[in-house]
Copies of this chain bind each other. A is one copy, B any other.
């Protein structure tokens, strides 16, 4: 079955979204992620969307759900790699991703997570 890989790097999990999300794939990702957070006691989740030229409300909602899910499981979520055009579209659509931290790239996202974890 098609699924999005979740890579572990120390205390953090990295998810790179490259393909068009559809319902089943999004559900599988959420389940896999919840499972991995609980098994690995991960403290943070990085979602990289640098490969996406377009983010619609479906993906926006999915990112919100993953973020909420991680928070309940005591992990922070950072969305990284957003293309400028995607940011413009999101704002125009009114999708402001409330409660989701963002960072320019994976490295900065990782730094942000480390700071959050240290200060909590």
List chain A positions with a Cβ less than 8 A from chain B.
3-5, 7-10, 14, 16, 18-19, 48, 50-51, 81, 105-107, 110
Given contacts A4-B18, A16-B18, A18-B5, contact A10 B107 (CB under 8 A): yes
Is B18's CB under 8 angstroms from A48's CB? no
Is B8's CB under 8 angstroms from A107's CB? yes
Bound form: Cα–Cα A14–B18 in Å: 14
Is A5's CB under 8 angstroms from B9's CB? no
Residues of B within 8 A of A106 (CB): 7-9, 14
Residues of B within 8 A of A9 (CB): 9, 106-107, 110
Given contacts A5-B48, A107-B8, contact A19 B16 (CB under 8 A): no
